[in-house]
Chain A
Amino acid sequence: MSENNYREMYLTEALEHVDIMNQALLKLEEQPDVKDHLDLIFRSAHTIKGMAATMGYEQTTDLCKNIENIFDAIRNKKQKLSSNLASALFKCIDVLQQMINDENKKIDLESYLSILKNPNKSQQIENDESMQPTQLPTIRVKMSDLDSLVNLVGELIISKMKLENTLRNEDSIKSKTALVDLGRLVSDLQYQSLKLRLIPIDTIFKRSERIVRDTANKLGKIVNLQIDGAKLELDRTILDAISEPLLHILRNCVDHGIESPSERKTLKKSESGNIKLSAYHVGEQIAIKIEDDGKGIDLEKVKAKAVENGILTQQEANEISDEKTIELLGTPGLSTAKTITDISGRGVGMDVVINKVQDIGGHVQITTETGKGTTMILLLPLSVSIIGGLLVNISNEKFVLPLSSITTTLKINNNEIKSLHGIEVIEYQDKIVPIVRVSDILEIKQDQYIVPGKVTIVIVDKGGKPYGLVVDSFERKQEIVIKKFSNASDSENAFHNATILPDGKVALILDPSMLI
C-alpha cells in the first residue's frame, strides 16, 4: 500500500475518532460518573495517537498523549472534569481535528498543553485566529469516483467532436450556436473535473524536508533546503507517480551530491550544502527543479561504467559528448555510486526515476558541472488524461503530437534541408536543427508528393534542444483524450497511448522524445 493510501485511511479513521471524542465528552459533562464515556474518549485519543505516531505526525501524537493523560487522571480520580477543563479539552479536540485534516498545519502546541494544565486560563486562546475556519467547506471523495468522472468527461469530449464533425457542413445558424454553447459547457466541465484532481505540490515538498534532514543527519552533512512554489497544484496521479522519484533524487543529492562539511571547507565552499527545490509553470507543463551545489555528476565515471557494462565501446566513450553521457544515466543498472549505501542503494537508480517520469508523459533534464553541482528538472504534464495535441498526417495515417513538446511548425523548401556529417539538418533561428523523418522510424511509407518541393516540419524540444520532425501535413490543434493501451508498460516504445478521433478512428499518440 502506498503512503498516500495510508494517509487516506488515517484521515478517515482518525476523524471518526474525533467525532467519538466530541460526542463522548459532551455526554461526560452531563453524566460525569459514567465510566463508559471516559473509556471511549481515552481509547479514541489512544488510537489516534498510535496512528499519528505511525504516520510520523509528532505534534498530533503529542497532543493525543496529553489528552489521554488527562482522562487517565480522571479515571483514577486524580482529577475532576471541571467545566473549564471540558472547554479546554474541546479546544484541543478542535485543533486536533484541524491537524488531522491538514498534515502540514503547525500549531503552538505549548499553549494547548498549558490550558490542559491550567484549564482556568482556557479563555486565553478563545479568539486565536488559527481557530477560525478559513478554509471553504470540503468533502472527501474516493479517487476512483474522480477517475470515472474524468473518464466520462473524456467520452463527452469525443462525442462533442463527433457532433462537430457531423454538423460541420450544415448551414443552420441554430445548430451552430447550440454547438458553440455545448463546446463551452464541455470545456468548463472538463476544467472543473480536472481541477478536482489537483492537490498542492506542498504535500510532497513537506516530505522532502524530512528526507533531506534525516539523510543529512545520517551522513553527518549539513544541508540547507530552500523550497519555492509549493502552492502550485498537480494532478493527483502525477503527484503520486513522481513522489518516490523526487524523494530518491533528493536522497541522491544529499548522499552523492553534497560533500561533507570538511570537504566543502577545503573546497572553499560554505560548510552547509544547498539544495533548492522549486516548482513553476512552463507553458502547458509544470517543472520541478532540484538544484544542488555539490560536486556534480562524475561523467568520466559514468562513461567508465558504461564501458564496463558493455553499453559503450572504449572508442565511443572517448568521443561521446557530455550531453549524451548524461542521457546514459537513463540506462538500467548504471549507478555510479561506488558502494551501495543505505541511503541511495535501494536498487533504484536514475534510470528508474527517468522511466517513471516518462511513464506519465514527463521528461527529465539534467545538467551538471564538476565541482559546482547538478540541476535536474522534471517536466510534467498538468493532466494525465486530457492533453492538447496536434493532429499530423504521415502516409495517410493520423498521429497526435502532444502540444507540450512542440515549439513550432514550419513549411520549408526541400532544398533547405542540408546534410551535415551524413545527418539531415535545417537552419532554424540561427540554429542547426537535426531532421528526423518520422515515416522512416515508424517504417511506413511517406507520401512524397503532397506539396511538390515543400516539406512540413514540426519542431519539437527534447532536453532543451530542438529537433525537426518531418510529417506529410498537419491538421488542427485539438483536445486529445488519452486512452492507455492495456499493457503499456513498455516505455521503450514511441507510442503507448492512443486517442479516438471525431470520425471514430483511433490515432496513436507519438512521444517525440522516443523518436529522436
Chain B
Amino acid sequence: MTRGVASKILIVDDASFMRSVLKDIIKNNGLASEIFEAGDGIEAVKTFLKIKPDLVTMDVNMPKADGIQALRAILKIDPTAKVIMISSVEEKHIVQDAIKLGARDYVVKPFDRSNVPLVINKVIRQK
C-alpha cells in the first residue's frame, strides 16, 4: 500500500486525553511531520486559518462551537479541506450529515488503533 504523508495534521478534540491518543497514533504511524491541536470549534477554525493543515480530525461534541459548526466554517474557508470526523457510535446520524456537508470520512470512538491510520491514509491520498 502506498502511504500518504500529510505534512500538517490538526487534531480537534475538547479532551486533551483524546488528542494525546490520536497524536500518538499519528506519530507512531509516521503520518504527519507536524501535528497541531485545538480544544474547541472556535480554536479549530482559528488554527485552520493560521496553519492551513493538510488534514483535520474533528470531534463532534465540543464547547463554544461544535464539530459540525467548525466543519462548515472550515469548508467555507477552503472547500477542498480534508476533514475526518471523530465520533462516538450514537452520533452516526450527525456524522452522516457531516459527510453530506463535505467531511471526507469518519472514525468511530473508541478507536480501533489500526483503523485510524488506514482512514487517515485514505483521505490524505484523495485529491
Q: Which residues of A contact B (CB under 8 A)?
A: 1, 6, 9-10, 13-14, 42-43, 46-47, 49-51, 53-54, 56, 65
Q: Please name the 10 residue pairs, one residue from A and one from B, whose CB atoms are nearest each other, closest first.
A: A53-B110, A54-B110, A9-B17, A50-B109, A51-B17, A13-B17, A46-B61, A47-B15, A1-B24, A10-B17
> A interface, by DSSP: helix, strand, loop or mixed?
helix
- Contact of A54 with B88 at beta-carbon distance under 8 Å, contacts A9-B16, A43-B62, A46-B61 already known: no
CB B13 to nearest CB in A, in angstroms, measures: 8
- Contact of A54 with B21 at beta-carbon distance under 8 Å, contacts A43-B62, A46-B61 already known: yes
A54: chain B residues within 8 A (beta carbon): 17-18, 21, 109-111
Residue B37, interface by CB 8 Å: no
Q: Which residues of B contact A (CB under 8 A)?
A: 14-18, 20-21, 24, 61-63, 88, 90, 109-111
CB A342 to nearest CB in B, in angstroms, measures: 11
- Contact of A47 with B61 at beta-carbon distance under 8 Å, contacts A9-B16, A53-B110, A54-B109 already known: yes
Give complex CA distance A54, B14 in Å: 15
Give complex CA distance A287, B117 in Å: 40
How many contacts A-B (CB < 8 Å)? 44
> B interface, by DSSP: helix, strand, loop or mixed?
mixed
Give complex CA distance A10, B21 in Å: 11
A1: chain B residues within 8 A (beta carbon): 20, 24
Give complex CA distance A9, B23 in Å: 14
A51: chain B residues within 8 A (beta carbon): 15, 17-18
Instruction: Name, among B15, B17, B61, the residue most crowded by chain A CB atoms within 10 Å (CB to CB).
Output: B17
CB A39 to nearest CB in B, in angstroms, measures: 8
Q: Does B110 contact A50, Cβ atoms closer than 8 Å?
A: yes
CB B35 to nearest CB in A, in angstroms, measures: 13
A49: chain B residues within 8 A (beta carbon): 88
CB A76 to nearest CB in B, in angstroms, measures: 14
Q: Does B17 contact A43, Cβ atoms closer than 8 Å?
A: no
A9: chain B residues within 8 A (beta carbon): 16-17, 20
17 A-B pairs besides A9-B17, A53-B88 with CB distance below 8 A are A1-B24, A13-B15, A13-B16, A14-B17, A42-B61, A43-B61, A46-B88, A47-B61, A49-B88, A50-B88, A50-B109, A51-B18, A53-B109, A53-B110, A54-B18, A54-B110, A54-B111
| CB-defined A-B contacts under 8 Å, sample of 17 | A6-B17, A9-B20, A10-B17, A13-B15, A13-B16, A43-B61, A43-B63, A47-B18, A50-B15, A50-B18, A50-B110, A53-B88, A53-B110, A54-B17, A54-B109, A56-B110, A65-B90
Give complex CA distance A47, B62 in Å: 9
CB A218 to nearest CB in B, in angstroms, measures: 15
B88: chain A residues within 8 A (beta carbon): 46, 49-50, 53
Give complex CA distance A46, B88 in Å: 9
CB B98 to nearest CB in A, in angstroms, measures: 16
B109: chain A residues within 8 A (beta carbon): 50, 53-54
Give complex CA distance A9, B90 in Å: 25
Give complex CA distance A51, B17 in Å: 7
Instruction: Name, among B15, B16, B88, B111, the residue most crowded by chain A CB atoms within 10 Å (CB to CB).
Output: B15
A56: chain B residues within 8 A (beta carbon): 110
Instruction: Name, among A10, A49, A54, the residue most crowded by chain B CB atoms within 10 Å (CB to CB).
Output: A54
A13: chain B residues within 8 A (beta carbon): 15-17
B15: chain A residues within 8 A (beta carbon): 13, 47, 50-51
Which chain A residue has the least Cβ–Cβ distance from B88?
A: A50
Which chain B residue has the least Cβ–Cβ distance from A43?
A: B61
Give complex CA distance A43, B18 in Å: 14
CB A102 to nearest CB in B, in angstroms, measures: 18
Give complex CA distance A65, B89 in Å: 11
CB A41 to nearest CB in B, in angstroms, measures: 12
Which chain B residue has the least Cβ–Cβ distance from A47?
A: B15
CB B117 to nearest CB in A, in angstroms, measures: 16
